[in-house]
């Protein structure tokens, strides 16, 4: 446990520096927004493209692994949804809370941290988990919110979802990388070095941006944030582990990767959605802040348990 904690500590230390910079206004909200844009559209995209281009689809795709991650995620999504209905929340708020319960910071935190902790062979399962989050559940929340407000499903909703997927640089980078790999085109040395240098900025840049963005988050509605953090940090990895080890018998290493991904704190893009649609941004903000703080210990515990078995 201590060894894993010491390995994860530098990642959270960079988040802490970013938080300090944002809290003291050394790094303004505007500066954080531009840094996040740089990481999202350039550095992280370069890293994902380079990783994907050096993988084959066979390295990424595993039906059992997808089924396990999807089953575990959907089960926790369902639990969060039922709790929301018992609290008599509307569909839009329910969709946002359920999103908090299952969507982790896989892109900004999971990709760099898990590939370092678990090895470069972890990138395939991480990308698969990220794809499920981005394509299925991020689309679902938009459909539910927009559909509940319009009172019906329309082609406009599907168009919005489709455009959102096409415009997401992480999805584009992974898709282009896999196409490049599928065509068996060697990456020229100058291009590979360019991607390595630009992608190298993704890890520190993303972690710093996470911390700086947390500085603007409030810790209101702690009881709800505590419940959503429990769903994300405890229930999500627990149900994915049950699905991977018991139900679908996933390869132990791949199971370790997707369970670790499930243990990550609430993703920042959930707040962006909540703010964009004006649906409970304060409680999402608190859930991100609290789950990230707690994950300093919880993620280490999960990875230590998985790597010890």
The predicted pLDDT at position 112 comes to: 86
Q: List the beta bridge partners of residue 104.
A: 266
- pLDDT confidence band for 6 (50 / 70 / 90): confident
**What average pLDDT does range 148-175 have in this prediction?**
72
The predicted pLDDT at position 17 comes to: 95
The predicted pLDDT at position 220 comes to: 65
Residue 262 or 163, more confident: 262
> Distance between CA atoms of 21 and 17, rounded to whole angstroms?
6
The predicted pLDDT at position 308 comes to: 79
The predicted pLDDT at position 155 comes to: 64
- Work out the percent of the chain whose per-residue pLDDT is above 70: 94
The predicted pLDDT at position 171 comes to: 84
Q: 238: closest CA among 264, 265, 263?
A: 263
What mean pLDDT value characterizes the chain?
88
Q: Write the pLDDT tens digit of every residue in 66-123.
A: 999 999 999 999 999 999 999 999 999 999 999 999 999 998 888 888 988 888 889 8
Q: Write the pLDDT tens digit of every residue in 180-211.
A: 888 888 888 899 899 999 999 988 998 899 88
Q: Write the pLDDT tens digit of every residue in 27-42.
A: 998 999 899 899 989 9
The predicted pLDDT at position 84 comes to: 95
Residue 156 or 231, more confident: 231
Query: Beta-carbon neighbour count of residue 136 at 10 Å?
Result: 12
**What average pLDDT does range 208-233 have in this prediction?**
87
Domains of the chain: 2-308 (1.20.1530.20)
> Distance between CA atoms of 186 and 106, rounded to whole angstroms?
28
Of 13-27, 49-63, 157-171, 215-229, which range is least confident? 157-171
> Distance between CA atoms of 185 and 249, rounded to whole angstroms?
34
Q: Write the pLDDT tens digit of every residue in 229-251.
A: 999 999 999 999 999 999 999 99
Q: Is the pLDDT of residue 2 over 80?
A: no
The predicted pLDDT at position 51 comes to: 85
The predicted pLDDT at position 179 comes to: 87
**What average pLDDT does range 267-274 have in this prediction?**
86
Q: 139: closest CA among 124, 153, 125, 122?
A: 153
The predicted pLDDT at position 157 comes to: 65
């Amino acid at each position: 446990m201590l060894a894993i904690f010491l390995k994860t500590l530098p990642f959270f230390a960079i988040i802490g520096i970013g938080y300090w910079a944002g809290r003291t206004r050394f790094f303004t909200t505007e500066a954080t927004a531009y840094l996040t844009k740089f990481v999202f559209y350039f550095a992280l995209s370069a890293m994902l493209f380079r990783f994907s281009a050096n993988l084959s689809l066979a390295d990424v795709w595993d039906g059992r692994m997808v089924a396990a991650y999807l089953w575990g995620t959907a089960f926790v999504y369902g639990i969060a949804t039922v709790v929301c209905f018992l609290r008599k929340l509307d569909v839009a708020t329910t969709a946002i809370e359920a999103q908090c319960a299952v969507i982790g910071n896989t892109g900004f935190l999971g990709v760099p941290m898990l590939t370092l902790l678990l090895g470069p062979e972890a990138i395939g399962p991480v990308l698969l988990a990220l794809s499920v989050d981005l394509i299925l559940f991020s689309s679902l929340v938009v459909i539910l919110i927009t559909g509940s407000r319009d009172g019906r499903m329309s082609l406009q909703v599907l168009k919005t979802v489709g455009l959102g997927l096409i415009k997401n640089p992480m999805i584009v980078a992974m898709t282009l990388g896999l196409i490049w790999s599928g065509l068996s085109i060697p990456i020229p040395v100058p291009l590979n070095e360019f991607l390595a240098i630009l992608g190298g900025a993704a890890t520190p840049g993303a972690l710093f941006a996470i911390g700086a963005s947390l500085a603007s988050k409030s810790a209101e509605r702690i009881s709800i944030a505590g419940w959503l953090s429990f769903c994300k940090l405890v229930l999500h990895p627990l149900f994915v582990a049950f699905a991977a080890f018991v139900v679908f018998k996933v390869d132990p290493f791949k199971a370790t990767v997707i369970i670790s991904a499930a243990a990550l704190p609430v993703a920042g893009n959930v707040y962006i959605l909540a703010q964009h649609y004006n649906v409970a941004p304060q409680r999402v903000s608190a859930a991100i802040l609290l789950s990230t703080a707690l994950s300093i210990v919880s993620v280490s515990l999960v990875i230590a348990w998985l790597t010890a078995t």
